[in-house]
Structure 1
């Protein structure tokens, strides 16, 4: 069989997710590096782990694995709606934030449509565009690696169907301020869907930041995407959600698979929402780690971005491939950003104090 003759036309633009060293689970990393202790600071995972309440609820849910879960996840929908001040039918659950982005693409994009994306941001937006045969239009960042909203407005054409914004932005940790977001949304045509990915919004501590959920009331084209993978530490459970206008959310339900979020994930997410003390401890841990990294980068003369996420972007002025390999030899794994045209830059997840100090020690030894 000639598989190339039957695959969709989008096939050449898509590549399977191939795990490089930085993408491996911790146990596989230990095996690959032949080390008993490895510090993985490449995936922006919460080192505190899930809430004990979430683990208890998930354990109890295991007793009913023979039963199908709620298709829409009504209890979790309602809990999210109450926290966000919206209606239940404005909330949609997904198998992680990645699936929500793909569902939006499947709902709104046709081959040839344009999707406007910042040049340095989460790669899933481009992948989702390619999945549907749409055309990613990348807008360069500002000189400070901030999202160029004016550039995005100028990039809108009659073919533009979607805009994707990550706020706080991954991998830089920079934000679009509330004032900027409000002014921007007023200028976006109503027939262009705006995806605002707030995967890291719980970590945002800038006084200028605000969630975009409040904008869905007057902007029917806005979909806010969230995840339980980051501060709630349920990355392996794969659960996210979207919040938008009722009509927009209902449109996405047309392509959403039934039972796309499993019962264990739903139980853990619901219990996590009810443990905000755990969230606060996670934020405190993150703040302490951030400050350690800031101090180190300042002492070394490295340029970095003060983050609103659980990771720090840094320009080391050193070839990142070399630095990555040397750190890996010492059992420390970070994320290089050469794929964005940033050959000397790293994204370092804020791990536990021990992990951050291990990175700092290894970095100093290499330098």
Structure 2
């Protein structure tokens, strides 16, 4: 029997995750480039590393690898609830934010449903929509690449089931102003689920930003996604969570695998929430790195977007593929945004000062060679 007669009809729209250079672990990057030193600024990882408290808790949890983890992670749910001002029953754990997006799609999407996604946003929203055979409806961005909520409202039809928003947005780093989001939610029909991905919430220091956890308490159709991968630096542990009203949480539990978050990740996440010093230092390093990048891009005459995250989106004014390759020759790996139609733009993750200096030196050298 031919494979095309065995797989689901959505199969042609689904693509396996193929690691390019920017997606590789650092050691594999070094091998690919033949370099002893590589600066990975492509994955928005926290350069500080995990909290020592988290590492200690995870090491202790290793001694019980023979035991199955808590299926629901009640201790962590309660801790998150206390921190966010919600009940434990309003929280659900997942294997990273990616799985939470998938779980939402598996819970709510049918093939005839439409899903509205901003044109420049996290690719997992599109992948999960395709996985369920639903129809993606792309919404244009504002001229400044902010999320255009009015454009989303205009695209809502009786077939619309879900709207995905990323706030702050990846890969632009921009925030949706609180007053705009508040007005938007009042206009969205109650039968349309608004999923708001707040992966970069802890970095968001823009005064216009407001977490949508506040809206969860008012709207039954608002669901917030968070992760421990970014400021808590547990990307390899794969742990995220969602916050919503009890009915939404209960619905997602119907499709959630019973042991989707391992005990090591749960222990690390729980300890991370108790280490405010680590979070503060992560923010300090990030703010310093953003300042260095802003000064660099101003010096080079390059336009960049004001970021509320741990990365900066910059328009180099040159082919982004060319700039990516040139930086890679210097051992600096960033994210090429050509796949979003941003053919001259790069996304640069914030690293330690020495990583930012390496990036700056490489950029200056590339441009100096252009002038010769």
TM-score (normalizing by structure 1): 0.99
Aligned to 2:178: 178
**Alpha-carbon deviation of 1:333?**
0.2
> How many angstroms apart in 2 are the aligned matches of 1:115 and 1:357?
41
Deviation string 1:158-200 (CA, Å, 9 cap, x unpaired) is: 1100000000000011001111111111100000011000000
> How many angstroms apart in 2 are the aligned matches of 1:358 and 1:138?
37
Aligned to 1:282: 282
Aligned to 2:235: 235
> How many angstroms apart in 2 are the aligned matches of 1:250 and 1:263?
22
**Alpha-carbon deviation of 1:327?**
0.6
**Alpha-carbon deviation of 1:218?**
1.4
Q: Please give the residue correspondences for 1:245-260 in structure 2 after superposition, counting only pairs within 5 Å.
A: 245-260=245-260
> How many angstroms apart in 1 are the aligned matches of 2:133 and 2:154?
23
> How many angstroms apart in 2 are the aligned matches of 1:101 and 1:52?
29
Q: Please give the residue correspondences for 1:85-124 in structure 2 after superposition, counting only pairs within 5 Å.
A: 85-124=85-124
Asked if residue 340 in structure 1 is aligned to residue 340 in structure 2, the reply is: yes
**Alpha-carbon deviation of 1:112?**
2.0
Aligned to 1:194: 194
> How many angstroms apart in 1 are the aligned matches of 2:127 and 2:308?
25
> How many angstroms apart in 2 are the aligned matches of 1:137 and 1:361?
41
Give the 3-state SS of the residue equivalent to 1:50 in structure 2: coil
Aligned to 2:134: 134
Deviation string 1:84-135 (CA, Å, 9 cap, x unpaired) is: 0100010000000000000000000000210001000000000010000001
> How many angstroms apart in 1 are the aligned matches of 2:216 and 2:305?
29
Aligned to 1:65: 65
**Alpha-carbon deviation of 1:238?**
0.2
**Alpha-carbon deviation of 1:210?**
1.0
Long gaps (5+) in structure 1: none
Deviation string 1:260-287 (CA, Å, 9 cap, x unpaired) is: 0000000000000000110000000000
Long gaps (5+) in structure 2: 368-372
> How many angstroms apart in 2 are the aligned matches of 1:81 and 1:353?
35
**Alpha-carbon deviation of 1:217?**
1.6
> How many angstroms apart in 2 are the aligned matches of 1:112 and 1:13?
15
Q: Please give the residue correspondences for 1:1-367 in structure 2 after superposition, counting only pairs within 5 Å.
A: 1-367=1-367
Deviation string 1:132-157 (CA, Å, 9 cap, x unpaired) is: 00011011111000000000000000
Deviation string 1:299-328 (CA, Å, 9 cap, x unpaired) is: 111000110000000001100111111110
